[in-house]
A and B are shown apart, each in its own frame.
Chain A
Amino acid sequence: MNDLSGFDCLAHPLGEWLKGTGPESDVVISTRVRLARNVSGFPFTARADARQRSEVLRLATEALRSVHLEKSVVTLDLQQVAEMDRDILVERHLISRELAGAEGPRGVTFGRGEMLSIMVNEEDHLRLQWIKSGFDPDRAFSALRRVDAAMETALPIAFSPLYGYLTACPTNVGTGMRVSVMVHLPALTLMEHVDKVFKAAQRMNHAVRGLYGEGTRAFGDMYQLSNQATLGRSEEEIVAGIKAIVPQVLEYERRMRGELYTEKREFVEDKVLRSLALLRNARRLSVQEMMSHLSLVRLGVDLKIVTDVSMDTLNRLFILGQPSHLQREAHAVLNPTEREARRAELVRAKLATATN
């Protein structure tokens, strides 16, 4: 479908959503809205044969081309993308682990800013997502809605007046919409209130997951909060639901940060500055270690304990220090020890020269 030789995943700049400039960016990293859609007349992906899948991929690609989404988009036929590059796309939140690991005709189209991404032949034929920096569900939704509406003019979409947009899994039917807010909660973690907050969120029909989605552990005190239900609520109500819960979590985290700063100043300064010293001097770093110390430094930046490191640098390190990014940078498959050494080197370099 596309000539891949000219595309370099790593040379592609990191997503704009990582800038750390959006609303509530002291706590919220990003807001992602996802819509699940299927092309009518074809079985869902799991039940479609190779011929049907490539037909869906062809139709979707043509439709995407005809609607002129953004000035420039990248379209990749994932069957032709090497495994390591697929993992890089996962680490950048452009495709799911499931799509990276799947087989058969499948693809992804994303915008240059890496805010829009459309997966083809994931569990559903189309998975559209828009990521915004900070807490911004309204704008993420309205941006994605435009893309969705444009796609609907170019493709027949499976829809029922009773059940709404029809999806392979009954958990996505209706609006097909999932709003996920990635939050950084170091103070709640330090003060051991994080379990309580999650239990409260869970009671209110919102799920909490780790950084890379379902089943992943929370690294670096990063969590995703998202709506559970997609049926029986309008898109606006789903957005309102997440807007009803996220501010509570933010307020709670900020209160705990304030408490740390005013009542446990020495404790938090000690934690933060030790983490910074470790990151600036370590010769080997595991992913977990890097993320947990970055998390504390990020808290330190917010509390003005650390003044010579930018949020942007920290947000980027969370991604650039992931295994596939490191290996791609090294142009080699590295063993775990080599990766840890490379990671430590990267972190030292980024943190030494201070801002950016």
Chain B
Amino acid sequence: MDCQCCQKKPARIRICDVLENAVTEQANICPDCWIFVKRYMFDPARPLAPTLQVLAEVRGLIDNIPGKALATVPPPGEITPVEPAQPVPVCPECGMTLAEFKHKGRFGCARDYEVFAGHLDPLLERIHDVTPPRHKGRRPAHAPAGDALVQRSRDLAGLRQQLQAAVAEENYELAAKLRDQIQTLERAPAPGGAA
């Protein structure tokens, strides 16, 4: 899904307006627009406007920067979904059934993740607000990670920090440039290939 703010980059962050524990409105934005958006939301001088209104204001701000024309980015390749397991999955180790898991909301053992794999993605997507719901991050020592991947994420983190500083200083021209750089780096093929 595309960012509802810049309408160009893939959305990674969901902002949910909540009223008495119920979500009244949702917006999906990319991490870079988020940097602009949160500055708006935490501004003591402004009342907390509905998120869609904030997005419109931020968009207006960015669009007014001269010479801004971002290329449209195709969404990154999807990871093939896991094959559904047998029709009525039961864990051979702990006896957990899919129905019991859905009722309790807790797994019985580590094996359940494998047994119920075909049914987990929608749930994990909802909880963690990420598509596809796959692990990213460190792994036990016996499963080494690709160093190039780590380096790229560091580079991106550095650029994002600069972007944040630029927004804080209200240097929107520099901010827009940094956002393009982040986009380019993200579009490059993943080094080594993620798990």
Contacts and interface: CB of A to CB of B under 8 A. Distances in A.
B110 interface: yes
B44 interface: yes
Interface string B23-61: 000000000001100110110100110010000000000
Nearest to A259: B44
B14 A234 contact: no
A297 B44 CA distance: 24
21 contacts: A42-B109, A44-B108, A157-B140, A159-B140, A159-B143, A160-B135, A162-B82, A162-B117, A167-B107, A168-B107, A170-B124, A203-B15, A203-B16, A231-B128, A233-B130, A236-B137, A236-B157, A248-B39, A248-B42, A251-B42, A252-B42
B89 interface: no
Interface string A135-147: 0000000000100
Contacts of A164: 135-137, 139
B133 interface: yes
Contact of A203 (B18, B138, B140): B18
Nearest to B138: A235
Nearest to A238: B137
B177 interface: no
Contact of B136 (A202, A233, A240): A233
A66 interface: no
Given A169-B105, A244-B38, A163 B13 contact: no
B114 interface: yes
Contacts of A256: 44
Contacts of B109: 42-44, 47
Interface string A29-69: 00000000010101110110000000000000000000000
Interface string B113-134: 1100100100110011110111
B71 interface: no
A231 B124 CA distance: 8
Contacts, number: 162
Number of contact residues on A: which range applies? 35 or more
A166 B133 CA distance: 13
Given A43-B94, A204-B13, A255-B44, A161 B143 contact: yes
Nearest to B126: A170
Shortest 8 CB-CB contacts between residues of A and residues of B: A164-B135, A232-B130, A158-B110, A234-B137, A248-B42, A231-B128, A229-B128, A47-B108
Nearest to A245: B38
B7 interface: no
Contacts of B136: 164, 174, 232-234, 237
Contacts of B138: 145, 175, 234-235
Contact of A231 (B41, B135, B160): B135
B186 interface: no
A171 to B, nearest CB: 5
Contacts of B157: 236, 240
Given A203-B15, A245-B38, A229 B139 contact: no
Interface in B135-172: 135-141, 143, 153-154, 157, 160, 164
Nearest to B107: A168
B48 A199 contact: yes
B8 to A, nearest CB: 21
A163 B113 contact: yes
A170 B47 CA distance: 35
Contacts of A160: 110, 113-114, 135
B11 interface: no
Contacts of B34: 204, 244
Given A47-B96, A240-B157, A255-B44, A205 B14 contact: yes
A248 B135 contact: no
Interface in B91-111: 93-94, 96, 105-110
B151 to A, nearest CB: 12
Nearest to B137: A234
Contacts of B153: 234, 236-237
A71 interface: no
Interface string A237-274: 10010001100110110011000000000000000000
A196 interface: yes
